[in-house]
Chain A
């Protein structure tokens, strides 16, 4: 649980990273978050790694369709066309 007062600790901060990215922290908690990472190499690295993780996830999409799936779909489309005229 996050304490309401005083500076954030590292173990608390790592649970707030997504809230921070999503703009879901209160102004006050946002300030506590930023003040903490300004002086903490470990948390700076952690936050940066979460950013990199999101970026790499964004490159994960597969743009090619396996031939089997493609054939099955073409079949389904053809049947559909035949059925609807």
Chain B
């Protein structure tokens, strides 16, 4: 049950980026655990246990998502382009006009307070799903770049783009919360 405590919430979040509802995401995570139980004898330790568990989850979620996709119309490919920082903050020569104010004065307790975490959670939840998946696996769960590339079938470049866009938006949400630009 310790493993379950440790990973279940993250698994549901990642599953949710493949399927259309929270209830289905819960189901998928549950199925994945049964897959883990059934397959644990075959776990060869070539990857970390964590990566192995997430691989089972992603496979199930993907299958389920594909099945749903036939009935649920999926909106756009979520392709995003352009700047990750508001261009209005820069002068015409590309230098900062309104630079970020350093957070050095922010006490650690404030950064890790539950209110700050809520701000971050909301920012993540507002991201396009591909970005949400990558930032959750990389920065929240702490998987390596190689692991995430393999798990999600991405190119390295694509993964970095998604991660960068996601981090930049979370940073912006934190900046808005902690006190805006100069």
Chain A residues in the interface with B (C-beta under 8 A): 9-12, 14-15, 17-19, 22, 24, 40-46, 48-50, 52-65, 69-70, 72-73, 76-77, 80
B142 touches A64 (CB 8 A): no
A24 touches B156 (CB 8 A): yes
State the interface size on chain B (CB cutoff 8 A). 49
B117 touches A59 (CB 8 A): yes
**Binding stretch for chain A, among B5-13, B40-48, B51-59, B66-74:** B5-13
- Interface flag for B107 (CB, 8 Å): no
- Interface flag for B175 (CB, 8 Å): yes
Q: What would 30 A/B residue contacts be, using CB atoms closer than 8 Å?
A: A9-B94, A9-B95, A10-B95, A14-B84, A15-B164, A18-B160, A18-B163, A18-B167, A22-B145, A42-B100, A43-B99, A44-B102, A45-B100, A46-B85, A48-B104, A49-B102, A49-B103, A49-B174, A52-B111, A55-B111, A57-B139, A58-B140, A60-B121, A60-B140, A61-B10, A63-B5, A65-B5, A65-B8, A73-B33, A77-B33
Q: With A10-B96, A12-B94, A18-B164 as given contacts, are A62 and B9 in contact (CB-CB < 8 Å)?
A: yes
A73 touches B4 (CB 8 A): yes
Main secondary structure of the interface of B (DSSP, over half): helix
Q: With A10-B95, A42-B99, A42-B100 as given contacts, are A49 and B175 in contact (CB-CB < 8 Å)?
A: yes
Give the residues in chain B near A70, CB-CB below 8 Å. Answer: 4
B26 touches A72 (CB 8 A): yes
B140 touches A80 (CB 8 A): no
Q: How far is the CB of A69 from chain B (nearest CB, A)?
A: 6
Residue with the highest number of chain B CB atoms closer than 10 Å, among A11, A24, A46, A53: A53
Beyond the given A9-B94, A55-B111, could you list 16 further A-B residue pairs with CB under 8 A, ordered by the A residue number? A10-B96, A17-B164, A17-B168, A18-B160, A24-B160, A41-B102, A49-B100, A54-B139, A56-B116, A57-B170, A60-B121, A61-B9, A65-B5, A73-B30, A76-B33, A77-B34
Chain B residues in the interface with A (C-beta under 8 A): 4-6, 8-10, 12, 26, 30, 33-34, 37, 83-85, 87, 90, 93-96, 99-104, 111-112, 116-117, 120-121, 135, 139-142, 145, 156, 160, 163-164, 167-168, 170-171, 174-175
A72 to B160, CA, bound (A): 36
A57 touches B140 (CB 8 A): yes
Q: How far is the CB of A68 from chain B (nearest CB, A)?
A: 9
A23 to B34, CA, bound (A): 38
Q: With A19-B160, A76-B34, A80-B37 as given contacts, are A14 and B85 in contact (CB-CB < 8 Å)?
A: yes
